[in-house]
């Protein structure tokens, strides 16, 4: 493994939130854990090594986790030179790296949604310092890399106009799709038959499946699909399964109202996205996967790839990342989409930027300014409904493509190759440390606040027989809230106190006797002095 995982927040878990970013992160984590179950996995983060190891073991991993604490300056032996973050790289991560040295290691992240204010700001940040040419942002589609380059160019032009900036870092922007576990998505014939029977489907029913968040304003508005299904329903027995979660009952009711009004001839079923059995049953019962995305929050779209891996033909809108994954006429069909002309929605963007409209309202309003070709959509629905042979041919084509292009071993190999390329670029790094502006050492920035400051030649002494007093102080929340296994361990305080009791000596001699100086030991000494367990005096 040539890179470490930045283990942070919900980046690799769906426990707190079930959305595309979390689902993909969990899938990546599982793929890494299972690829070499008895090998080494590298982790990077803040105090999360136990949590990462627990999750690895839940995925069947029995090897060794090699952990590097974020903010440390000494990587463990053999630790790789690249760190992966499950999203665009945060600005603070690059500043933290640069304090150690800009060539200390590489950072690479991955795009997910790019339409939120936070996401666009993070892309703009990548346009210059503190990022380096040996950092990278994986763009999951050609649509994503085009958008990223546009935002970065706008940011650089603004900096040039206002500050006369001419030197900008050019990070790597490789296009690598998201991955899926192809083997786990297979649909054995007995399971297909059982699922259709459980759902009460007749042999002549043709089932169209949508899977994902059920949000007409923030994912995909299903009204055009309902209309097209109704147009194609004449003489056909069409069923639509929507597998996913509604944010609330009001949204669920709006779906039911639209189904009754727009597609009374179609049978609709709902499978709960949070119920693994229901969700799996919906996938197994389907004949065609359909996703008529119209929302700018989508930049790749993992569910069509999952459908291809499942052997289903896919019917999708000709929209962003779908163009990279679904080959029109081979793996399914892409339906043309018409968007608003340039300049037709700047008022929507400004209202959102000024916090007059929420993000959901912003993207929902813009989705209503995109139109899928209903005539072509309804015709393609009819073609797929009438031809089991075509469905089987397209499903097999998509499954072969998923195995060759999107299976996690393939994607991980490309991540490994990227980490190697970043290492080669990093080997040519020049220059010294780059400080983190506006985030200096407080002991320097606020050094003029106190009367005086501790120096190496100051004399340290400690009265004997105060061990009990020390233990009493180590039990008080008021004095122990700063204790931490890395930054200020209690045992370090005890050891330093014991050495200080041996007799007066200079700060530098005391630090040497304790095994060396360093920020945690200096803070331990100040902790003892603050609470009257050590005396600090300048030289006479």
Structure tokens at 52: 């990462």
pLDDT at 432: 67
Instruction: State the pLDDT at residue 484.
Output: 87
Query: Regarding the domain with residue range 183-405, which homologous superfamily does it belong to in the CATH classification?
Result: Glycogen Phosphorylase B; (3.40.50.2000)
pTM here? Answer: 0.90
Give the Cα separation of 375 and 224 in Å (integer): 10
- Domain ranges in the chain are 4-179+413-426, 183-405, 442-537
Q: Which helix (H) or strand (E) holds 84?
A: strand 82-84
- The per-residue pLDDT for 200 is 97
Which uninterrupted H or E stretch holds 29? helix 20-35
**pLDDT of the residue at 433:** 63
Cβ distance 76 to 66 under 8 Å? yes
489: nearest Cα among 502, 480, 477: 480
Q: Counting every residue, how long is the chain?
A: 540
Chunked into runs of 10 residues, the chain (540 residues) has average pLDDT values of 92 78 91 92 95 95 95 88 96 92 94 94 93 97 97 96 92 97 97 98 97 94 98 98 95 98 98 93 98 95 97 97 97 97 93 96 95 98 98 98 98 97 91 78 92 96 94 96 88 96 95 89 95 95
Coil, helix or strand for 278? helix
The dihedral through the CA atoms of 316, 322, 323, 324 has a sign that is negative
C-alpha torsion sign, points 123, 19, 196, 375: negative
CB 281 within 8 A of CB 195: yes
Peptide bond into 248 cis (omega under 30): no
CA-to-CA distance for 116 and 359, rounded, in angstroms? 7
- Sequence-distant (6+) residues with CB within 8 A of 360 are 217, 218
CB under 8 Å to 534, separation ≥6 — which residues? 460, 461, 462, 496, 497, 500, 525, 528
Residue 380 CA to residue 240 CA, distance in Å, equals 15
């Amino acid at each position: 493994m040539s890179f470490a995982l930045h283990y942070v927040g919900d980046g690799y878990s769906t426990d707190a939130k079930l959305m595309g970013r979390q689902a993909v992160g969990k899938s990546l984590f599982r793929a890494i854990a299972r690829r070499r179950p008895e090998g080494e996995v590298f982790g990077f983060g803040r105090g999360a090594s136990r949590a990462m190891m627990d999750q690895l073991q839940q995925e069947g991993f029995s090897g060794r986790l090699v952990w590097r604490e974020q903010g440390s300056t000494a990587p463990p032996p053999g630790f790789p030179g690249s760190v992966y973050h499950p999203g665009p790289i945060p600005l603070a991560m690059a500043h933290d790296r640069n304090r150690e040295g800009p060539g200390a290691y590489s950072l690479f992240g991955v795009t997910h949604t790019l339409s939120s204010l936070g996401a666009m700001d993070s892309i703009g940040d990548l346009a210059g310092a503190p990022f380096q040419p040996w950092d990278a942002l994986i763009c999951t589609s050609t649509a994503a890399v085009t958008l990223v380059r546009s935002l970065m160019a706008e940011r650089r032009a603004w900096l040039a106009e206002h500050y006369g900036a001419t030197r900008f870092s050019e990070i790597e922007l490789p296009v690598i799709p998201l991955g899926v576990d192809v083997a786990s998505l297979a649909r054995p014939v007995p399971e297909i038959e059982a699922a259709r029977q459980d759902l009460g489907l007749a042999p002549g029913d043709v089932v169209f499946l949508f899977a994902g968040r059920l949000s007409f304003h923030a994912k995909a508005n299903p009204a055009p699909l309902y209309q097209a299904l109704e147009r194609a329903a004449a003489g056909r027995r069409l069923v639509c399964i929507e597998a996913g979660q509604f944010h609330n009952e009001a949204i669920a009711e709006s779906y039911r109202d639209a189904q009754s009004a727009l597609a009374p001839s179609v049978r609709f079923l709902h499978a709960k996205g949070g119920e693994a059995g229901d969700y799996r049953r919906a996938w197994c019962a389907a004949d065609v996967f359909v996703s008529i995305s119209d929302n700018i929050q989508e930049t790749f779209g993992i569910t069509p790839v999952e459908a291809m891996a499942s052997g289903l033909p896919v019917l999708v809108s000709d929209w962003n990342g779908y163009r990279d994954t679904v080959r029109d006429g081979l793996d399914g069909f892409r339906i043309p989409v018409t968007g608003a002309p340039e300049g037709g929605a700047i008022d929507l963007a400004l209202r959102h930027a000024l916090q007059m409209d929420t993000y959901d309202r912003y993207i929902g309003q813009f989705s209503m300014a995109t139109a899928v070709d209903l005539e072509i959509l309804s015709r393609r629905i009819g073609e797929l409904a009438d031809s089991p042979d075509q469905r089987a041919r397209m499903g097999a084509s998509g499954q072969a493509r998923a195995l060759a292009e999107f299976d996690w071993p393939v994607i991980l190999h490309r991540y490994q190759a990227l980490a190697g390329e970043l290492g080669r670029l990093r080997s040519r790094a020049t220059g010294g440390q780059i400080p983190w502006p506006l985030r200096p050492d407080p002991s320097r920035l606020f050094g003029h606040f106190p009367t005086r400051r501790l120096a190496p030649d100051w004399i340290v002494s400690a009265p004997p027989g105060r061990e009990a007093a020390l233990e009493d102080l180590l039990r008080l929340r008021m004095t122990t809230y700063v204790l931490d296994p890395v930054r200020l361990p209690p045992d370090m305080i005890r050891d330093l106190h014991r050495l200080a009791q041996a007799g007066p000596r200079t700060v530098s001699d005391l630090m040497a006797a304790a095994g060396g100086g360093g920020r945690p030991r200096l803070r331990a000494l100040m902790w003892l002095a603050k609470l009257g367990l050590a005396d600090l005096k300048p030289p006479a």
